[in-house]
Amino acid sequence: MTSQLTRQPTAVELALLDVVKTLPRRRAMQVLDFARWLQTQTTSNEEGNDEVTPAEMEQEEKAWEQTYLANRDDFRAMAHQALADLDAGETLEMIIIDGKVAVR
C-alpha cells in the first residue's frame, strides 16, 4: 500500500472557498478570471509561499471594514452608478485571454 501525502488547505484557501460557495455561478467565474489574472501579476519580490495567519486575515478584514464604514456613501454611489451603467448597456465584460485583459 502506498501512502500519499496531501497538502491541507491554508486558511486563505478555506476562506476563499467559503466566499465563492455563496456566489452565483457567474460571479464565481469572475473570481476565477480575476485569480487567473493575478497569477500573471506576480512580481519578483513575492515569494508565493507565505502563509497568512488567521490573526492577519482578521486584521485585514477589520481594516477593510473601517475603510468601508468611513467611505460608505462613496461606495454606495459608485455601486449605484455601476448598476445604472450596466442597465444602460454602457459597460463591457472584461475577460482574461492568455493572461491579458480583453473586453467583449
Residue position matching grid coordinates 497568512: 52
Q: What is the pLDDT of residues 23-62, one digit of tens each?
A: 989 888 888 888 888 877 755 445 555 677 888 888 888 9
Distance separating alpha carbons of residues 69 and 67, to the nearest angstrom: 6
Mean pLDDT within 71-84: 91
Give how far the C-alpha of residue 93 lies from the chain's centroid of Cα atoms, to the nearest Å: 17
Cβ atoms of 101 and 94 within 8 Å: the answer is yes
- What residues contact 73, with CB distance under 8 A and at least 6 apart? none
Backbone dihedral angles phi then psi of residue 71, each to the nearest 5 degrees: -125, 25
pLDDT value for 1 = 53
